[in-house]
Amino acid sequence: MAEIKNTIGKRIHRLRRSKDMTQQCLAERIGVNASYIGPLEKGLKTPSIAVLQKLSEVLEQPIFSFFLEDANENNSDAGAKRLAALLATHPPDERQFILSMTEELSEMLRQRRN
């Protein structure tokens, strides 16, 4: 879990910096306390689904991109393995929920592309 939190934190940090946004500004835009952003970027905190959704909107990135170490990662096998490893950390009912959300997100992105 620590590796996933670090990956998410690094991505948030990189994306925020790429938009010349301060931690304070990002916090205000997603509706959290500014003291939350630093630990989040360092992998000390885990964002909720709601926070990830707000980050996705503000940083203009799909939610799944926060789980990728490199935004340019194009290796689908590596991505599939990472997704499988992530799912394996959850009990069956949560895995089903995550898969359902992933399917919905995939469909939403497909529709947005067309």
21: left (phi over 0), alpha (psi -120 to 50) or beta: beta
Evaluate the CA torsion angle 21, 46, 96, 31 in order and state its sign: negative
pLDDT at 85 over 90: no
Q: Count the helix, strand and coil residues of the chain and give each as a percent rounded to the nearest 5.
A: 75, 0, 25
**Which has more confidence, 1 or 50?**
50
Fold of the 1-73 domain: 434 Repressor (Amino-terminal Domain) (1.10.260)
Alpha-carbon span 47 to 40, nearest angstrom: 7
The domains of the chain are located at 1-73, 75-114
**Of all helices (H) and strands (E), which one includes residue 35?**
helix 34-41
**Which has more confidence, 102 or 35?**
35
pLDDT at residue 3, rounded to an integer? 85
Which amino acid, one-letter code, is at 22?
T
Q: What is the model's pTM? A: 0.60
